[in-house]
Amino acid sequence: MTTFADVLNKRPGLQRRLFFLARRFVAGETIDSALDAVKTLNADGLTASLDFLGEDVFSETEAAHTAQVYQTMIDRIAQAHADCNVSVKLSAIGQAISDDVAFENLSHIIDHARQQNMFIRLDMEGSATADSTYRILDRARMQYEAIGPVVQAYLKRADADVDLQIAEHTRVRLCKGAYKEPPGVALQRMPEIREHYMTLACALLTRGNYPGIATHDERRIRGVQEFAEANKIGKDKFEFQMLYGIRTRRQRELRRQGFNVRIYVPFGTHWAGYFYRRLAERRENVFFVVRSIFSR
């Protein structure tokens, strides 16, 4: 089935003209606009993870270009003295071509990150890329330990993935998952996904290495707070992570309560896929978009 995102991805000019639809969730189209957003977050005590939007690259030239953008991002973050790291989608740096192409491009990003002692988050995409992502992660960690994956709680493989990453002392970002997956691969009912999320969160809080607890779900947030307090897990041992433009007041409230909070800040012209997943996740996001249309 062709989606709104598929249509826009084939029409870059139209995607640029419709950027106003995504402006609540995407921090502009340039590095400058993204860094302005990061500075605002930092001023409120929030850290950030910067993501250059783009996925499913099939050209080695384009993949290398995306990797070069990330190198520039890292240098600009350092120059701005911003409290920020980067998130990388391997599909944007050549994963669909081969593991080797993606790894070579990732190695160039790592070279820049090492100079700044900056953590790199490897985003997890559809389940079909999971094994490849972990293979590339394993190779990358032989060069640079400050790199870690995202685990999607709705995937049935998530328990094993979390256990392995805990054993490897790797920093994990835990989210529910936003890609359409078949029943054989992923849990389908939200109550099951929420329960599984909490099981994995508790494992990471107890045994993990500074996990990122990525959720906007208030019950999950309170559940994590209560579990951490009951088990005497310090607020400095983990961080909450949220998306740019979603529950902004709650983000700052958590920071005022003494929790570390990191905001995932995407930017770029290829926003359609990311935007489509945000609409699918939360009905409230549709309201934000409709309101933006009539407030132009």
| pLDDT one digit per residue (tens) for the chain, 296 residues | 555 455 455 555 545 545 555 667 888 889 999 999 999 999 999 999 999 987 678 999 999 999 999 999 999 999 999 999 999 999 999 999 999 999 999 999 999 999 999 999 999 999 999 999 999 999 999 999 999 999 999 999 999 999 999 999 999 999 999 888 999 999 999 999 999 999 999 999 999 999 999 999 999 999 999 999 999 999 999 999 999 988 999 999 999 999 999 999 999 876 566 555 555 554 544 444 344 333 43
- Tell me whether residue 36 is one of the annotated catalytic residues: no
- Tell me whether residue 83 is one of the annotated catalytic residues: no
> Which one is catalytic: 123, 161, 194, 220?
123
> Which one is catalytic: 23, 121, 173, 194?
173
The neighbour count for residue 7, using CB atoms within 10 Å, is 12
The pair of structure tokens assigned to 30 is 């340039």
Helices (H) and strands (E) in the chain, counts: 12, 8
DSSP 243-274: ETTSSHHHHHHHHHTT-EEEEEEEESS--HHH
Instruction: Determine the distance from the C-alpha atom of residue 219 to the mean position of all C-alpha atoms in its chain, rounded to a whole number.
Output: 21
**For the chain, how big is the Rg over CA atoms in Å?**
18
State the pTM of this model.
Answer: 0.87
DSSP 85: E
